[in-house]
Chains A and B, each alone.
Chain A
Amino acid sequence: MKLFPKFNSSNSLRVIFVIAVFILLFLSSLGYKHNQDLNASSKVAMHTYEINIQLERLMSAIKDAETGQRGYIITRNSRFLSPYIYSRDKVNTSFITLKKLTADNPVQQENLRRLFKLIIQRFTSFENCFKYSDPKTYDKRKLDNHMFGGRILMENIRFQVDKMNDIEKKYLDRRLKIYDQEISLSPVFSISLFLAALLFILLAYRQISKDIQRLKVFNKKLLISSRLMSESESIGKFSTWQWDLDTQKIDYSDNQYRLLGVRPNAFVPVQETFLDFVHPDDKEAIAASMEEIVTKKHLPFIYYKVLRADREIRYFKSTGKLLTDKQGSKILLGINFDITDEHLLNIELQERNDELEKSNKELASFNHVASHDLQEPLRKIQTFISRIPEAEKAGMSDSAKDYLYKIEVSAKRMRVLIDDLLLFSRTNTTKKEFIKSNLNELAENAKSELLEIIDEKRAVITVSKLPKLSVIPYQIEQLFINLIGNSLKYSRPDTIPEIHIESEKINSSDYPGLLDQNTRKFHKITFKDNGMGFDPQFKETIFVLFQRLHSKTDYPGTGIGLAICKKITDNHKGYITADSTPDKGSEFTVFLPE
């Protein structure tokens, strides 16, 4: 079952999002590294400058010492000696600082050691100069030598210092060059990365807004269908429930609560109380059915009673199904129908049916009474009358003879009535066996049944080709007898009766007000005569039992014949109509379904 549309985009969204995050992380780590590099470079520069300064300071201290020495040698004033004395300390301080600064660089340490050696040599040369310039120990040649040697030492020191400065400078240059290289590469790279990340984020945004749009549409649809569902549930008196077998969570639709006689969400449905509303009579069977759903995966309709909280009994019809989704979780779905109204209606119908059956039986026993018990005394009356010898009748008074005659006529009429009535009720109660019959044969049978009166009236009866239909043969024969007999009976005294029977096939749609539109084709059989006819206003009533249009002295009859015709066509799910023009003739039309 596909409840919700698939959202593939959620996966691609996730990918886009992860990529964007990685790019941003990469960018920030790149920035951090640049920062670090910059820091390191400035430190290197500082370091270089510091070494430079210390070396210059060292240099100037030595130069100060040299200047002081010169001043003292020239003037012999010891005041000039003070820079010289301080310079030693300065040189030492600078030297210690330099040693620290170059601790990580063995080449510079080596250079520093050489430089220090040179400086010590220089100071030794200073001491020698003092010694040989002193008037007590004056030695011009040695002084000159040392002075000159000092000069060379100074140049060496300068050279050494420059060398160290150069190394630092080169080192700095190299560092700066590497930094420059890195820094010149990264802006383009990082901007493009940034743009890519931006693009991804934009894509993601687009996707999200698209998804949101789709979600909105589906949300609306879901809302509508859930409203529709709940509306149809309350109108159709049914409800649904879901039971998640994994989490044991049970959900009732709102109408489920209503059908159980409580307000929606009046309680939280749980497994233990699931069958609480089932009537005690049915509880066991329903519990068994619930087990069955799990094993058989579906449940045919079950019918049971529900006992509401207000003690009202309702009749339910339920079905269920086990759903297993792709993740393998099992959900029981159930539908309940409240069929109480139908059930009560059914009971009522059943009762009525029983009543009808009873009254039918009564009718059947009435038939028996009519056929046997009523006929018996009547037959005896007639037989007794017939036993009065003619000779004795002759001796009677005229009025006695007349009365006797009237008794005889009445008894005869009563016999006809009973016979017709029996025929009428038998048309309804005897078994209806439909047999495929040729209606022409049945019409011929009817004609031979009426042979006497046909001959007597010299009637002309034409029967066109009639269909073969599945009918109750003796009833259709009776129908022909009654209709032909009717026409013969009500013929005009001075005219030879003519009866034309014709048949055609018609569509029920041609007679919309009359025929059952569910049956498409009918056979229309018309009986047309040239008799006395009747007033068309009676064309409906002539089919009603005991309805007569003529006095029984003019035309003896019981008013049952056409009612029997109507009953016969009813039995065949057909129709009969009549129409007439007085003094011209009548037309009876029988419609029989194909």
Chain B
Amino acid sequence: MQKNALHILLADDDEDDRLFFKDAFEEVRVQTKVTFVHDGLQLMEHLMTPDIKLPDILFLDLNMPKKTGKECLIEIKKTEHLKNIIIAIYSTSSSEEDIEDTFIEGANIYIKKPSDFNTLKKIINEVVTLNWHYHTSGLNRDNFLLRLK
């Protein structure tokens, strides 16, 4: 692993989804280091571990046991040294309510889990190559939900 590899953290309780995610990252050209946590509680423990290298992008599933993605999001944004982590919501749900809530709580992008592996690869490619500085400064309700061109 190279030192300048992109640190990716995926919080998802679904084993299959983690598998898809892992496979997809392996096929992406960008150098990445992917870490997985299985639920919200584990996620928060991981982030709170002293001297840990914080992820560059956190992919956060909403529907997780023990602590939901939304709760984690709120907690992260309240914690001083975590609040600048880029958070990509990664959920099956596409309900207006979930999108609206996570936007308000400060997530950076909302990704609806695709039902096609190729699409997933495209999404991941898009997200890891995104100019976050540019994206975040121009963030609004319309471009919050990721749509592939």
Contacts and interface: CB of A to CB of B under 8 A. Distances in A.
A568 B73 CA distance: 35
A430 B116 CA distance: 29
A415 B115 CA distance: 10
Interface of B: 14, 16-17, 20, 23, 63, 92-96, 113-118, 120
Interface residues of A, number: 15
A589 interface: no
Given A372-B63, A376-B14, A383 B114 contact: yes
Looking at chain A's contact residues, is the secondary structure mostly helix, strand, loop, or mixed? helix
Interface in A358-409: 371-372, 375-376, 378-380, 382-383, 386-387
B14 A383 contact: no
B92 A375 contact: yes
Contacts of A380: 16-17
A383 B92 contact: no
Contacts, number: 37
Contact of A379 (B96, B115, B118): B115
A41 to B, nearest CB: 128
Contacts of A378: 115
A382 B114 CA distance: 9
Given A380-B16, A383-B20, A372 B92 contact: yes
Nearest to A377: B16
Interface of A: 371-372, 375-376, 378-380, 382-383, 386-387, 411, 415, 426, 430
A383 B120 contact: yes
A415 B114 CA distance: 12
Contacts of B16: 380, 383
B96 A383 contact: no
A378 B92 CA distance: 11
Contacts of B93: 371-372
Contacts of B96: 426, 430
Contact of B95 (A371, A376, A383, A415): A371
15 contacts: A371-B95, A376-B92, A379-B113, A379-B115, A382-B115, A383-B16, A383-B20, A383-B114, A383-B116, A383-B117, A386-B115, A386-B116, A387-B20, A387-B23, A387-B117
B46 to A, nearest CB: 24
A475 to B, nearest CB: 12
A411 B115 CA distance: 10
A383 to B, nearest CB: 5
B92 A379 contact: yes
Contacts of A430: 96
Contacts of A371: 92-95
A379 B111 CA distance: 14
Given A372-B93, A375-B92, 17 more contacts: A371-B92, A371-B93, A371-B95, A372-B92, A376-B14, A379-B92, A379-B114, A380-B17, A383-B16, A383-B20, A383-B114, A383-B117, A383-B120, A387-B20, A411-B115, A415-B115, A426-B96
Nearest to A376: B92
Nearest to A379: B115
Nearest to B115: A382
A382 B95 contact: no
Nearest to B97: A430
A375 B114 CA distance: 11
Contacts of B92: 371-372, 375-376, 379
A375 B117 CA distance: 16
A50 B118 CA distance: 168
Nearest to B14: A376
Contacts of A411: 115
A372 B61 CA distance: 12
A430 B96 CA distance: 9
Nearest to B62: A372
B69 to A, nearest CB: 12
A371 B99 CA distance: 13
Nearest to A381: B115
Contacts of A375: 92
Contacts of A382: 115-116
A263 B94 CA distance: 69
Contacts of A387: 20, 23, 117
A372 B23 CA distance: 23
A376 B17 CA distance: 10
A375 B17 CA distance: 13
A161 B119 CA distance: 174
A387 B93 CA distance: 22
Nearest to B20: A383
A386 B95 contact: no
Nearest to B119: A386
A372 B97 CA distance: 13
B35 to A, nearest CB: 22
B14 A386 contact: no
Contacts of B117: 383, 386-387
A491 to B, nearest CB: 28
Contacts of B116: 382-383, 386
Interface centre among A380, A415, A430 (most CB of B within 10 A): A380
Contacts of B113: 379
A380 B93 CA distance: 14
A501 to B, nearest CB: 26
A383 B118 CA distance: 9
B147 to A, nearest CB: 13
A375 B94 CA distance: 11
B141 to A, nearest CB: 13
